[in-house]
Amino acid sequence: MPLNKLTEGPVASRIARIGDQFAISGEFLYGEELCNGHINTTYRACYLTEDGVKERYILQRINDYVFKDPVMVMKNVEKVTRHIRWKTMRRRKNTAGQPLTLYPARGGRNYINLPEEGGMWRCYNNIEGTHTYDVVENTRQAYQAGNAFGSFQELISDMNPEDLRESIPDFHNTPKRYEALLRSVEADVIGRAVNCEAELAMLKTWSPMFSRLVDMQAAGELPTRITHNDTKINNVMLDEETDEAVCVIDLDTVMPGLALYDFGDMVRTATCTASEDEEDLSQVVMQMPFFESLAEGYLDAAHDFLTQNEIDQLAFAGWLITTEIGMRFLTDYLDGDKYFRIEKPEHNLIRARNQFALARSIQTNLPRMEKYIRRLMKSHKKK
């Protein structure tokens, strides 16, 4: 759907005011609101330079309800973007396509607090000639998504996880997510628990499996790494002509974690052609051809640094993260829709049921998924 180019009015004036706080030259032409994310407020602003060239920038407000310490979020983002830039310069090629670049704000930092505009803002380069998909449409896109995030992980695999802080503590701690859900059920602040009794009963039967990865991490069997933690297909910018991955975006949740969390969320978002808002659950199924392409793309980039324990748990991580995201949607539904942006009263319940349907489909296919990953790793060892 074409975006509305705002040249005047209160929203256009707001975009121009915010853009004026950053190292952007030229005359403001128009602004657009980008609404495909659940969390942050995002605008794209277009400027005309003195040379007559139109240049576009991304202006984004960090949601301080979700991210309690926006300054810490920005420090994490700065460290990761600097390291990727250093790494690609050392290799004399840009492995990640067009990297994200932060523009300085007034005062010298890469962010600025504007209380009158809602809080903390930052400015990125607009990755030109690219687009995103909310749902993977073919196996080529699935491969590119897997390869993009595998390459991203590889680029930062030599960073020290202790150099970054958790922007959202226990973000992918599935047992704690389940505990939070049970607290929301107990509180039932707006009387919605009666609408999800079947989902809660199902989760109770699954709950013994929720601690597998955190237990392995605590035992030293899985290494802590710096990970993206939001590996949806719409966080990969793809070339408009070739559909090749150009850049990974949305780094707010970059922090210490498990590589498995990233792969698991890719399985959740890149192996099903139905959107996470789909209400016809018969359409919500994990498709093996998409999984195979995703795993191939990911392991083509990541096979050298992953441990055997990580490889062995890749397929399971797809089931776990899908279930966890379903629990997060359900928790937000019970709490009154405070976290995820909604478009209708039952939106988060629809999303939760959708994710649980996908988790059931993944669970059915786990043996085939694990077998395919073993086959891919054998081929890499022969090379």
Q: What is the pLDDT of residue 92?
A: 56
Distance of alpha carbon 201 from alpha carbon 367, whole angstroms: 25
> What contacts 286, CB < 8 A, 6 or more positions away?
267, 271, 272, 318, 358, 361, 362, 365
| pLDDT digit string, tens, across residues 37-70 | 556 789 999 999 989 999 999 999 998 887 889 9
Beta bridge partners of 255: 227
Which of 16, 42, 14 lies closest to 122 in space, CA to CA? 42
Which of 94, 117, 109 lies closest to 14 in space, CA to CA? 117
Contact 272, 343 (CB under 8 A): no
> What contacts 323, CB < 8 A, 6 or more positions away?
174, 203, 206, 210, 355, 356, 359
Q: Which helix (H) or strand (E) holds 373?
A: helix 347-382
Which of 71, 76, 58 lies closest to 123 in space, CA to CA? 58
Domains and CATH numbers, the chain: 10-79+101-126 (3.30.200), 131-382 (3.90.1200.10)
Q: What is the pLDDT of residue 96?
A: 45
Q: What is the pTM of this model?
A: 0.87
CA angle in degrees (0–180, nearest 5) for 63-271-293? 115
| pLDDT digit string, tens, across residues 111-166 | 999 999 989 999 999 989 998 888 888 999 999 999 999 999 999 999 999 999 99
Q: What is the pLDDT of residue 338?
A: 87
Residue 379 Cα to chain centre, angstroms: 29
Q: What is the pLDDT along the chain (383 residues), one digit of tens a residue?
A: 456 787 888 989 999 999 999 999 899 999 998 876 556 789 999 999 989 999 999 999 998 887 889 999 999 999 999 998 888 777 755 444 567 889 999 988 999 999 999 899 999 999 899 988 888 889 999 999 999 999 999 999 999 999 999 988 899 999 999 999 999 999 999 999 999 999 999 999 999 999 999 999 999 999 999 999 999 888 999 988 888 988 899 899 999 999 999 999 999 999 998 988 999 999 999 999 999 999 999 999 999 999 999 999 999 999 999 999 999 999 999 999 988 888 999 999 999 999 999 999 999 999 999 999 999 999 887 66
Token couple for 39: 């969390």
* Phi, psi at 287, each rounded to 5°: -105, 120
Contact 39, 47 (CB under 8 A): no
* Phi, psi at 163, each rounded to 5°: -80, -15
Contact 226, 254 (CB under 8 A): yes
Distance of alpha carbon 310 from alpha carbon 225, whole angstroms: 11
Token couple for 300: 């083509």
Distance of alpha carbon 179 from alpha carbon 250, whole angstroms: 27
Beta bridge partners of 31: 6, 45
| pLDDT digit string, tens, across residues 157-170 | 999 999 999 988 89
